[in-house]
Structure 1
Amino acid sequence: MIIKKIAVLGLCISLTINSVAYAGVLDSIIDESTTVEELDTEDSNEKEDSATEDLSEEDTTVEEPAVITAKFSDIEGHWAKNWINEAIKLGFVSGYDDGTFKPDRTITRAEFSKLLNGALKTEKKADFNFTDVKSSEWFYDEVRKSVASGFFSGYENNTFRPNNPIKREEVAKVVSSAMTTGGVDGEGATLLSDYGTVQEWAKPSVNAVYNKGYILGYPDKTYQPAKALTRAEAVKIIYEIIENENIEYGINITNYDELYTSAVVVGDINILDSVGTGNVYLKNVVVLGDIVIHATKANTVQLTDVTARNIVVKGENNPVKIVK
């Protein structure tokens, strides 16, 4: 079985979606005739849909990966050495031609997109209308993948700003769209001394990723939301996601009256006709793509703590009910 399943035969429950924890991720319902999806662009000072962080001095209380021999000439003795080497083994980072990694160099929005896409092995691409991302640029397809997965949208002036360093609060927003949040409620980052300086659009994400342990505060009890992320910090954050999330790849739901729970699904979830007239339950699931309902006789699809870029209902006059 692709996702952990728990039988819920005869269960009748009312589920609600946690929209706060996933603010900024598109969750629209469209029919099969829809051909163009409008991107949700946001202002950088109020609604930016990305996130960043700097961990060089951050409180890294999580267990470090096993020590292995450093490959790069400039990471020996660096706090992130073991995370960098593990990321190399997983294949989502590389260094420079001179044999260095430059761990303390800041990372841009485009570069962070490439790292996250590579680590999660995203393939689905979406069109966009960013005026500053040209098809000739090396990051063109990386931005398309990030948009398709719901990691990034853009700014209200239709720009992506690919070469801007990504900030800690922006990284929190991106990371929150690639993790499950069930059972991680708490005050978390709200107890840090500068939490009040976090922009409103980023606060739910900053607190969620803090509670999950992916982006913590500094020893002086600050978060420093506007600080630019470094390459080393980006590697650590993404490595922790890969190690701690239950990541699945594009699934088909064929059984009815079962609960599909606790997973990050890369690609689409397809609900097929074989579910018959039964119900489908999804809980604490992040879909880095679409939920596509092919079933034309299903009674209800019930969602709680579920996010997806779109919910697509196939079939003309499909009577399926979607309960959130």
Structure 2
Amino acid sequence: MKTIKKLAALCLCVLLAINMNTAVYAGVLDDIIGDKPVENTEDVEDTEVEDASYDTENVTESINTAIDAEPAKTSVSFSDIGSHWAKKWIENAYDLGFVSGYKDGTFKPDNPVTRAEFSTMLNKAIQIEITEKINFSDVSDKNWFYNEIKKSVAAGFFSGYENNTFRPDNPITRQEVSKVVSGAITTGNIDGEGATLLKDYNTIQEWAKESVNTVYNKGYILGYPDKTYMPSKALTRGEAVKIIFEIVDNENIEYGFNITNYNETYSSAVVVGNLNVLDSVGNGNVYIKNVVVLGDIVISAKNVNSVVLTDVKARNIIVESENNPVKIVYNDNVTIANS
């Protein structure tokens, strides 16, 4: 019986060793199999077996928890960004999964970024999934960026050139990026003079000036220390990462959204996917203000009185019920791409 007692005690100590330090379980061993006589052997054996079973379950649970736990993600360390001004944004962007480096371990932060590359970065960061047919003469379904350009066109970020080209390998300029970014952010209630006080403001193309002022006022694309904007300068990879990361970090991004209450205002959001006006709004009014919908506004409510839009951008407005007499009110700054 004494031999059995010692074996049971040793088993218990092995189990305890997993969760206790050596000094502690050594003391337990001395207490159990030391020189002191045990008067009630049966009671001790029962207690030891019960305790051993309990500890085994705890150890098993601890091991399973350790196996199931997801390891913490660590930032990559590119060999050429150690002292670069964009280092923290590059590492954060890598952790979010919308950029990667080169096979030689570099990031090349000062290299120009192409239109196809910027399209891909922005799509991945905001998680664009919708696509639209494209027929650009210089984009083939064999190109690595084919699906990304389909997504960018569907989201309204890019539209191509008048001669039906996209020019995917061209470096994207700062004024072009301003135009693209302005389509991915909320733009209502913005105050400021924009880039108008910069020395080279008059060199910005007319089609880009409104967008340049918008992104300048929101702080996404500012001027250089010499008070210039350099609108025709190619954007660098470091600049692209900073701009996109700050959009993701600062905009209120929703992934699909359902409006279910009437006479309330849904405002200040970027909706990735569709914004749905559901039947639960009844026969009240729906107000949508300062919202970018990277998809469609879908009105399935059968009896809604009106949908009032202010500072809204969307791809389409779709009224699902043919018999729905819904009134759509367009206030200031409403852009529906396919209206």
What interval of TM-score do these two structures reach, taking the shorter chain for normalisation?
0.7 to 0.9
Which digits, 9 at most, give the CA deviation of each residue in 1:73-121, with x for residues without a partner? 0111011111101111111111011111111110110000100001001
CA contact (8 A) 1:194 1:224 kept: yes
Indicate whether 1:292 and 2:292 are aligned: no
CA contact (8 A) 1:70 1:81 kept: no
Which digits, 9 at most, give the CA deviation of each residue in 1:158-180, with x for residues without a partner? 11111111000000001111111
Structure exhibiting the larger radius of gyration computed from Cα positions: 2
The residue aligned with 1:279 is 285
The residue aligned with 1:177 is 183
Indicate whether 1:105 and 2:111 are aligned: yes
Q: Could you say what the CA RMSD is over the residues aligned between the two structures, in angstroms? A: 1.2
CA contact (8 A) 2:112 2:236 kept: yes
* Unpaired segments ≥5 residues, structure 2: 1-73, 331-339
The residue aligned with 1:210 is 216
- Among 306, 310, 323, the residue aligned to 2:312: 306
Give the partner amino acid of 1:89. Answer: D
Task: Say which structure is richer in helix.
Answer: 2
* Unpaired segments ≥5 residues, structure 1: 1-67
Give the partner amino acid of 2:266. Answer: Y
Structure 1 position 129, deviation (Å): 2.1
Alignment partners' CA distance in 1, 2:287 and 2:142: 43
After superposition, the Cα gap between the structure-2 partners of 1:302 and 1:100, relative to the gap in structure 1 and judged at 3 Å, is: same
TM, length-normalised to structure 2: 0.74
Structure 1 position 310, deviation (Å): 1.4
CA contact (8 A) 1:119 1:238 kept: yes
Give the partner amino acid of 2:178. Answer: A
Structure 1 position 185, deviation (Å): 2.2
Greater RCO between the two (CA within 8 Å, min separation 6)?
Answer: 1
The residue aligned with 2:264 is 258
- Among 141, 144, 147, the residue aligned to 1:135: 141
Alignment partners' CA distance in 1, 2:220 and 2:241: 11
Give the partner amino acid of 1:211. Answer: N
1:28-39 matches, cutoff 5 A: none
1:186-225 matches, cutoff 5 A: 186-225=192-231
- Among 228, 244, 258, the residue aligned to 2:250: 244
Identity percentage over the alignment?
71
Runs of 4+ more than 3 Å apart: none
Alignment partners' CA distance in 1, 2:140 and 2:323: 39
- Among 309, 315, 325, the residue aligned to 1:319: 325
The residue aligned with 1:267 is 273
